[in-house]
Structure 1
């Protein structure tokens, strides 16, 4: 029996996968928000349910197909964590974050085009206040813990774990779980169901960075005990 050689990808391919994944993620988030709101006849719960299901299932697909290439971060918080753990070099940290933001914005714009909306717009959707910022801390820490402990204990289930967590977090957090600075920045460019006002973006990103710190502290506490 012939053994297949291990598959490897260069940094350009990895960066491209991060761009493509984040682009499609925002296409899913914004597009499903627009579609959900248009079909829900004013029922916000139905619109949120549609948005959550589409995002969770979309993440399952994106992580499954692009995870083997780039790690499927699609999120600067995840990228920063793996740089802190020295699992990716600094050059990938910079390129990943850059394409995550750029790809996310392009995904928003293509969503607008597909639904015949003005491509260039800014959100007026208010997302402010301490409860929502606290929600972002919780959502981001929970996402990071899900990813890291998932890799440790159930590596082949990461797509399902992350997709399921995000679907749930849409509902148990008052912020609807952005948990991602690139997603947050991209969503300020959409005055639709999933948007966020530009003036609320900084607070969300600060809360997400705080969630990174909280997540790291919890993960350190949950480090396996080394036996002699």
Structure 2
């Protein structure tokens, strides 16, 4: 069943907002409970994100495709799986949802709802991590069986939180939303453009690798 564009945009807004609530909220909770142990905070952040991605994709996939990520939407347009006219509406829904999710997560923990992050995330190693994480995520999404996407994406992001030097944002909307939370999961706005450039490079690598492996555009 093809849902209306309005319904799909609402699903992308809600799903992205909930995803950022999960990522930022679990980072805050992990920090509060770990007594300064960043490894425990990251583990809590990872587990919550894995579970969150799984249920969000399961809930919203049949409505909007459960992209929650401008890079995913662009890849679908590039592969002619989605109309190009829907690209910017999807991006707007995802970015506004990411900001809303960050503000709600901040508010839940008694922090200023709107604040700028001061957390530094920069350097060639971290940018390389984002390229690898984004390329890997796109390959997992494009090459997984439709009924397995929720579990394979959740598993990949859970692993990439630990093997990628950037802790695997792999999502321009996540970068945007996390600028608004000066917490464990945040990113300083000045570091955001380089992350998005790295993600764009990862997108091109991921889609290119998919085409080479599959041999044709499906």
- Normalising by structure 1, report the TM-score: 0.93
Aligned to 2:172: 181
Aligned to 1:98: 92
1:116-195 superposed matches below 5 A = 116-150=110-144, 154-195=145-186
SS in structure 1 at match of 2:127: helix
Aligned to 1:12: 6
* Bigger Cα Rg: 1
Q: Which runs of 5+ in 1 are unaligned?
A: 1-6
Please provide the CA RMSD for this pair.
Answer: 0.9
**Equivalent residue for 2:108, pick from 114, 118, 124:** 114
Q: Deviations over 1:160-182 (max 9, x none)?
A: 00011101100001100000001
Aligned to 1:209: 200
Matched, 1:55 2:46: no
Q: Which runs of 5+ in 2 are unaligned?
A: none
- Normalising by structure 2, report the TM-score: 0.97
SS in structure 2 at match of 1:31: helix
Q: Is the 8 A contact 1:17 1:70 kept in 2?
A: yes
Looking at structure 2, the residues matched to 155 and 14 of structure 1 have their Cα atoms a distance apart, in angstroms, of: 18
Looking at structure 2, the residues matched to 121 and 186 of structure 1 have their Cα atoms a distance apart, in angstroms, of: 11
Q: Is the 8 A contact 1:15 1:92 kept in 2?
A: no
Shift of 1:94: 0.9
**Equivalent residue for 1:80, pick from 65, 74, 77:** 74
The ranges of structure 1 where at least 4 consecutive aligned residues each deviate by more than 2 angstroms after the TM superposition are none
